[in-house]
Amino acid sequence: MKKYAGFILIALLSSTFTLLGLKYLQKSDTTDKQIVINHLKNNDTLTQNLQNVNYTNNQASNDSKIPDFREVVKKTKNAVVHVRNTRYIQQYQPYYFGYREGPIYKQEGTGSGVIISPDGYIVTNNHVIKGANEIEVTLDNKQTYKAEVIGTDPNSDIAVIKINAQNLPYLTFGDSDAVELGQWVLAIGNPYNLGTTVTSGIVSAKSRDLKGNKHIDNFIQTDAVVNPGNSGGALVNTDGQLIGINTMIFSMNGSYIGYSFAIPSNVVRKVADDILEFGSTQKGVLGIKAAELNGEIAKKLHIPQTEGVYIYEIEKGTGADKAGLEVGDIIIRINNIKVSSMADLLGYLKTKRPGDEIDVTIIRNGHKRHFKVKLNKNNAAYLKTLGLSIKNIDRNILKQYGVNNGVYIDRVNNRMLYQNGIRPGYVITEFNDLPIYSVDDLIDLLNNQAQKAYTIAVVSPEGRVEKYIFQ
């Protein structure tokens, strides 16, 4: 019994010392922690970062950082419409030594549009309504109207149509030059005939020049989802302002894969205003021939500047010539817009008209200089495709030819045309049965010519009307 009592005593003593040791260590650990906390509290720099966390309010705090587009959508979606175009195509069938009329087929295409005035003017893409025999517009409230074409500009892919309605919801234009990378945007349209659809994204790039696209070189690029049927629809900012017309996507299969492209609102507004006021687009010409700088070109030119537009030719008598711009000047800014590329320059010029004065900042011999340049109208051009030099002609002279529209042929380098009797002094009045009013009209039609065959209507100085068909 005494033997077991000794073991019990040893066990009790061991337990007591263990408990005392643990208590001491816990107390020591608590003391050390308190010392550290006191040190942190007394350190001004660190205590500024200490925050009390209230978990009951944490969800509300996170929600406030998530964009909420509900009010923007309510403000804008009613001004975006569904556009349906209908074409009637008649086929011709071989019949002995000729052709006879075949059946008529109906083709339909769809897209979107944006109401820009309460009395029914709508902007859309030209390719949405191109070749249409009938155009039908459906509002967000399902009301349907017949639309008429007011005017088109194939070069910028913008068209203005109108419906007979009043007091319509409409969008106001925002300033696309003020758009910044990373800002939130909404794309509103009617993809796949689903009805009004809203997607969101950010601005991924500005002044995007898509290689292979001949006409539009200053797209706004976004990652908002856009699909077939969105063409002509609205790209809006979080204030509900129109900052672009959705036009294109990059795709291998015809559907969205990551990037979409919109025509900037400043270009859209200018083209629409020109169509409504003049019937066609008025283009201001700077009067230079230039190239976009990069590292390789800068090295060849022995200049340090790798951004901007390098002038290699000045056209005599133009605004650039009269203002004092010279070959070798590097354009780096127009008004308040930075010019890093040709897309920046051409995109801004598309928002201006003949007669507008712009401030051009250039670098000459390493020094910045500023010039006021008055933009001219594009009065003359050489058409390599046709082998013709043409220029605009006064209306009074046109009357002497017995016509109301046309451009003057100044030089003929096309052997076929020359052999057929066309000489300098003739006036081109039509191209592919479409009237020609200016040099720009003919340039735009040639740029959009998809087929090799074309027709030209001309008038001789004696007033003789001739038409030529080229295969």
Mean pLDDT over the full length of the chain: 82
Contact criterion met (CB below 8 Å) for 381 and 405? no
Residue 184, pLDDT score? 96
Provide the sign of the torsion angle of the four alpha carbons 391, 276, 187, 345, taken in this order. Answer: positive
* Residue linked to tokens 């929600």: 63
In sequence order, what DSSP letters do the residues of 345-403 get, joined into one string? Answer: HHHHHTT--TT-EEEEEEEETTEEEEEEEEPEE--EEEETTTTEEEEE--HHHHHHHT-
pLDDT tens profile 297-333: 889 888 998 999 999 999 888 899 999 999 999 999 9
Cβ neighbour number for residue 410 with a 10 Å cutoff = 15
pLDDT tens profile 348-388: 998 999 999 999 999 999 999 999 999 988 777 888 878 88
Residues designated catalytic: 127, 157, 231
Residue 9, pLDDT score? 45
Among the listed residues 176, 238, 254, the one whose alpha carbon sits nearest the alpha carbon of residue 202 = 238
Among the listed residues 386, 391, 387, the one whose alpha carbon sits nearest the alpha carbon of residue 449 = 386
Average pLDDT over residues 62-86: 87
Residues sharing a CB contact under 8 Å with residue 403, sequence separation 6 or more, in sequence order: 427, 429, 459
Q: Which of 70-79, 206-215, 287-296, 415-424 has the highest mean pLDDT?
A: 70-79
Residue 167, pLDDT score? 96
User: What percentage of the chain has pLDDT greater than the value 70?
Assistant: 79
Show the domains of the chain with their CATH numbers.
74-163 (2.40.10.10), 176-278 (2.40.10.10), 284-377 (2.30.42.10), 380-470 (2.30.42.10)
Q: Token pair of 43, please? A: 């350190």
**For the whole prediction, is pTM greater than 0.75?**
no
Q: Measured between alpha carbons, how far is 404 from 222 in angstroms, rounded to an integer? A: 44
pLDDT tens profile 211-252: 545 456 689 999 998 888 999 999 999 999 999 999 987 666
Q: Is the pLDDT of residue 189 over 80?
A: yes
Residue 104, pLDDT score? 76
Q: Measured between alpha carbons, how far is 280 from 441 in angstroms, rounded to an integer? A: 8
Q: Measured between alpha carbons, how far is 103 from 107 in angstroms, rounded to an integer? A: 13
Cβ neighbour number for residue 433 with a 10 Å cutoff = 8
Among the listed residues 464, 349, 441, 433, the one whose alpha carbon sits nearest the alpha carbon of residue 393 = 441
